[in-house]
Structure 1
Amino acid sequence: MPGPRRSNADRSWRPIARRLWGSLKASGQTDFYQARDWVLACSLREDLFVYKKSGKRSSQMLQTIYSAFERLLVAEGGRRRVRIELHEPEPEERSAALLAIADCKKDFGIAE
């Protein structure tokens, strides 16, 4: 998807905003994001940047930002609430291509 999903962190962002953005792009729940979710994530990224840069910080603003990120299932608590559990992919012993070739050999009676 062009646009926000593939955008990289800007050097002007605070380190925590860059790390959060990078980790969001790499997280499993983002496989289910729609375009509007990425737009919301971009908006929240900007809000977090402005908040962190601000000399006058509001605890209510921070809570609002964190709540919105939770709705994007960024935190484990949000994922639990909607019953989504992410797991690391199981390592494959044989690739799908090798399994398909083996199936074809069986079909043709030339199985090993």
Structure 2
Amino acid sequence: MGSRGPVPKRSDQRVRRNKDETGTVEKLPVVGQVAVPALDIEDPHPLIVDFYSSLKDSAQAQFYEPSDWQFARFTLHFANKLIQSARPSSQMLAAVNAALTELLVSEGARRRVRLEIEREQTTATVIDVAEMFRQQLAE
């Protein structure tokens, strides 16, 4: 897991006054893409299905290994039980939230491990609605 404490600022907002003390990282070269398994939960709540689908489309999913996908399925199994329970447990909610943090599903969790996603926004033309109405009224 990353650092403790408050969520760090994004790298473009940080000012470093001292040396960055990150240690060396051992890298394991692996070839090939990871297959995303089916959710395979009995009677899943629609929120759980949507959440798993969003995990597949999220940028951090490119770092997931097969064990990460199984951990996601395991976590969502309990999240499904939590949602469908008549008496949801606060302890189970805390455990599910902690597990989802391990999967880097939130911005804060990604920043703690120094992972920033920069999604490009589509370009769109801005329409001045007031000007459009003035033109229509003038006609």
Q: 1:46 to 1:9 in 2, by over 3 A?
A: same
Task: Find the counterpart in structure 2 of residue 49 from structure 1.
Answer: 80
Q: CA deviation at 1:8?
A: 5.3
Alignment RMSD: 2.2
Q: 1:60 to 1:8 in 2, by over 3 A?
A: closer
Q: Residue 36 of structure 1: which of 57, 67, 70 is its match?
A: 67
Please state if 1:82 is matched with 2:113.
Answer: yes
4+ residue segments displaced more than 4 Å: 8-11
Q: 1:8 to 1:40 in 2, by over 3 A?
A: closer
Distance 2:39 2:70 in 1: 14
Number of paired residues?
Answer: 89
Contact (CA 8 Å) 1:48, 1:65: kept in 2 or not? yes
Task: Give percent identity, aligned residues only.
Answer: 33
Contact (CA 8 Å) 1:28, 1:86: kept in 2 or not? yes
TM value normalised by structure 1? 0.70
Distance 2:78 2:96 in 1: 7
Please state if 1:64 is matched with 2:95.
Answer: yes
Structure 1 gaps, min length 5 = 92-112
Contact (CA 8 Å) 1:9, 1:18: kept in 2 or not? no
Structure 2 gaps, min length 5 = 1-33, 123-139
Please state if 1:23 is matched with 2:20.
Answer: no
Distance 2:83 2:92 in 1: 11
Distance 2:91 2:41 in 1: 26
Contact (CA 8 Å) 1:44, 1:68: kept in 2 or not? yes
Q: Give the number of the structure with larger relative contact order, counting CA–CA contacts within 8 Å between residues 6 or more apart.
A: 2
